[in-house]
Amino acid sequence: MKAPDFDYRRPADLPAALTLLARHGAEASIIAGGQSLLPLLNFRLAAPQLLIDIGRLGELKQLTEGDGHIEIGGLLRHCDLAASPLIAQALPLLHQAIGHIAHPAVRHRGTIGGSLAMADPAGELAACCLALDGQFSLLSARGQRWVAAGDFFQGIYETALAPDEILTAVRLPRGGPGRISIFDEVARRRGDFAMAGLALVAEAYSGTLHGVRLALLGVADRTILAPSTMALLEAGPLDQARIEQAVELIAGEADPPEDPAYPPAYRRHLVGVLLRRTLRRILAEAPG
């Protein structure tokens, strides 16, 4: 099918974009990479009166190193992040995850801001930002606010973004050199949205995991943390018995929607398989 009729504006700079959004926010839609929005328009599942194309705003394409964190402009594309040595070195979790997003031609257009604003429950970047306890900058003509990833995702395709706000940047704390970062998922075919996945960061000393942040994707109406499993993993040394306990526990923390293709029990099983695989890998690679 073809997209419905709409108007189109390409503001020259960020202030102009914010003014347009302030005036038309409710009936307008931002377009960044268009890799989620255009399929929706082509299938007439969305009908904005106006597209505000922010795709060329250079202000949103910066990648900067701050004090203890990395700040990623909202318009950086999946391919930009995949190619960045800074991301590979400082945020290996993100680097691993990007390889699972779609296909090269989609990664050449799709942006981090668009992915997060879309809030697909199986989005890789959302899960990474939650695991890394990231903060998102939401900017409008009314001002700027920072929202934690944990508060940003509110349901399937639902976020804290107001209609006049742009997600301008993502701030992710960088970890110490010993931080473990593992991203893994199961998808039907390469590049498909995952049936289940996980993003884990932790530190290991004396055989025990500390500072565990474990985010799940594809197993609830949004990306979620698994707090009970995180607590169990920090409660004592990592061994086979603890791994099996964690696998059992995490199935209960997942809350997959009813889906005839992939029933909830199947997704719960998958997230357990992924966790077992991840923890065994940590155990095998642990020093000493």
Partner 1 sequence: MNAKSRRIALTVNGEAVAREVPVRLNLVDFLRHDLGFTGSHVGCEQGACGACTVLLDDQTVRGCLVLAVQADGCAVQTIEGTSNNDNGLMADLQEMFLSLNALQCGFCTPGMLLSAQELLRANPRPSREEIRDYLSGNFCRCTGYQAIVDAVAAVARARHEEPRP
Ligand X SMILES: Cc1cc2nc3c(=O)[nH]c(=O)nc-3n(C[C@H](O)[C@H](O)[C@H](O)COP(=O)(O)OP(=O)(O)OC[C@H]3O[C@@H](n4cnc5c(N)ncnc54)[C@H](O)[C@@H]3O)c2cc1C
Per the listing, tokens 């075919």 go with: 189
Retrieve residue 109's tokens. Answer: 């257009």
Nearest distance, CB of residue 178 and ligand X, angstroms? 29
| Residues 143, 108: Cα–Cα separation, whole Å | 31
Tokens 């995949």, residue located: 82
- Tell me if 216 contacts ligand X by CB under 6 A: no
**Least distance between partner 1 and beta carbon 193 (Å):** 11
Contact between 58 and partner 1 per CB under 8 A: no
Q: Which is nearer to partner 1, 14 or 82 (CB)?
A: 82
Q: With respect to partner 1, which residue has the nearer C-beta, 44 or 210?
A: 44
Contact with ligand X (CB under 6 A) among 35, 96, 135, 229: 35
101 belongs to the binding site for ligand X (CB under 6 A): yes
Q: Determine the size of the site formed for partner 1 (CB under 8 A).
A: 31
Our CB check for ligand X shows the closer of 31 and 130 to be 31
CB of 1 to partner 1, least distance (A): 6
Binding site for ligand X (CB under 6 A): 29-37, 39, 74, 101-102, 106, 109-111, 113-115, 117-118, 120, 123-124, 161, 166-167, 191, 193
Residues forming the site for partner 1 (CB under 8 A)? 1-8, 10, 31, 34-35, 38-39, 41-43, 51, 53, 55, 79, 102-106, 108-109, 189-191
